[in-house]
Amino acid sequence: MSDPKSVFLFGYSGHAYVIIESLLDAGFHIAGYFDLKETEFNPYNLPYLGFEKSVDVKSIVKDSLVFPAVGENNIRAKLIHFFEVLNLKQFVLIDPSANVSNTALISVSTYIGKKVSINAQSKIGKGSIINTNSVIEHECKIGDYVHIAPGSVLCGNVTVGNSSFIGANTVIKQNTSICSKVTIGAGSVVVKNINFEGVYFGNPVIRKEGNGSKE
Ligand SMILES: CC(=O)SCCNC(=O)CCNC(=O)[C@H](O)C(C)(C)COP(=O)(O)OP(=O)(O)OC[C@H]1O[C@@H](n2cnc3c(N)ncnc32)[C@H](O)[C@@H]1OP(=O)(O)O
């Protein structure tokens, strides 16, 4: 039987450092990391276990926990698909400093960062990141493989579709919906629904030229 607090990480760069410190603060220990290649900089002295596509991950990990430590949404989505195919043991990582409502529903491989607030009746899909100091107010619905960057505020009943990225310090007005595969620039304010994928920024947001949308 494996140590129930032992975690294998996938990815070891800047976002992984944040994940590692939340894991340590929450009483986990890290068994090692998988990545394309061994990193030159290894600030947490983690053993390198190989590239996940080139080694027998299942026989290394066995029934220990796994976690995706990659900030980029598409790569994280592929990792979670890989976890599902191998039937690896996923979990939700909530930094101990976060404040999460008992009525919030959060799916596996999602990270809730330092000082985040998740309020009543919110739902967050799998493989998402709710980064440092963000506020997810009541009844928000956040999809899979989403990244809400630090300091963002989603007012009540906001919806964010799968694989969208909400830049740091963005404010999204209550009852607003953002579809899948949208990128919102840092410091933006969203006051109307966004129904087409693409890049948007500003206050209020406008679509970045050259995105091929009619919006
Ligand atoms: C822990 C972490 O670090 S999590 C990551 C947090 N990071 C972020 O939140 C950053 C989010 N990314 C951004 O804001 C980016 O600027 C993007 C995605 C909106 C646009 O990036 P790019 O497509 O590379 O655009 P680019 O940098 O070429 O800028 C294009 C124009 O838009 C302007 N612009 C870019 N971003 C913004 C923004 N957030 N708000 C207002 N204007 C912006 C630029 O000044 C530039 O204007 P110009 O054409 O007059 O010179």
Last residue of a domain, one of 20, 55, 90: 90
For 64-169, where are the E strands, in sequence order? 65-68, 93-94, 99-100, 105-106, 111-112, 117-118, 123-124, 129-130, 135-136, 141-142, 147-148, 153-154, 159-160, 165-166
The whole-number average pLDDT for the span 174-187 is 98
Known binding residue 152? Answer is no
| CB distance 53 to 5 below 8 Å | no
Instruction: Report pLDDT for 213.
Output: 44
pLDDT for 214 beyond 60:
no
Known binding residue 32? Answer is no
Query: pLDDT tens digits, residue range 58-76?
Result: 999 999 999 999 999 999 9
Residue 179: CATH number of its domain: 2.160.10.10
ipTM of the complex: 0.97
Residue with CA closest to ligand 1 atom 38: 185
In whole angstroms, what is the distance from residue 88 CA to residue 171 CA?
Answer: 36
The whole-number average pLDDT for the span 30-59 is 97
The minimum-distance atom of ligand 1 relative to the CA of 14 is 1
Max CA pair span of the chain: 56
Query: pLDDT tens digits, residue range 111-166?
Result: 999 999 999 999 999 999 999 999 999 999 999 999 999 999 999 999 999 999 99
Same domain, 102 and 197: yes
Residue 26: CATH number of its domain: 3.40.50.20
In a domain, 207, yes or no: no
Beta strands across the sheet bearing 99-100: 99-100, 117-118, 135-136, 153-154, 171-172, 189-190
The minimum-distance atom of ligand 1 relative to the CA of 208 is 32
The whole-number average pLDDT for the span 32-37 is 98
Last residue of a domain, one of 67, 90, 113: 90
* DSSP 8-state secondary structure symbol assigned to residue 36: S
In a domain, 208, yes or no: no
Q: Whole domain around residue 74: which residue ranges?
A: 6-90
In a domain, 211, yes or no: no
Same domain, 165 and 124: yes
Known binding residue 81? Answer is no
In whole angstroms, what is the distance from residue 24 CA to residue 96 CA?
Answer: 10
In whole angstroms, what is the distance from residue 142 CA to residue 43 CA?
Answer: 32
Residue 188 Cα to ligand 1 midpoint, Å, equals 10
Last residue of a domain, one of 55, 90, 125: 90
The whole-number average pLDDT for the span 48-57 is 97
Known binding residue 15? Answer is yes
Same domain, 126 and 182: yes
Instruction: Report pLDDT for 4.
Output: 83
In a domain, 197, yes or no: yes
Query: pLDDT tens digits, residue range 181-211?
Result: 999 999 999 999 999 999 999 999 999 987 6
Same domain, 119 and 75: no
Residue with CA closest to ligand 1 atom 35: 185
Q: How many helices (H) and strands (E) does the chain have?
A: 3, 22
Q: pLDDT category, 2, cuts 50, 70, 90?
A: confident
| Residue from 76, 126, 138, 141 carrying the catalytic annotation | 138
Same domain, 99 and 85: no
Instruction: Report pLDDT for 215.
Output: 37
Same domain, 102 and 198: yes
Residue 139 Cα to ligand 1 midpoint, Å, equals 29
Residue with CA closest to ligand 1 atom 18: 185
In whole angstroms, what is the distance from residue 100 CA to residue 95 CA?
Answer: 10
| CB distance 114 to 130 below 8 Å | no
Beta strands across the sheet bearing 6-10: 29-34, 6-10, 65-68
**What average pLDDT is seen over the chain?**
96
Q: How many domains does the chain have?
A: 2
Query: pLDDT tens digits, residue range 89-116?
Result: 999 999 999 999 999 999 999 999 999 9
pTM tops 0.90: yes
Same domain, 190 and 153: yes
> Catalytic site residue 29?
no
Residue with CA closest to ligand 1 atom 21: 185
Residue 183 Cα to ligand 1 midpoint, Å, equals 10
Same domain, 140 and 68: no
Same domain, 107 and 161: yes
Name all residues whose Cβ lies below 6 A of ligand 1.
131, 149-150, 167-168, 183, 185-188, 199, 201-202
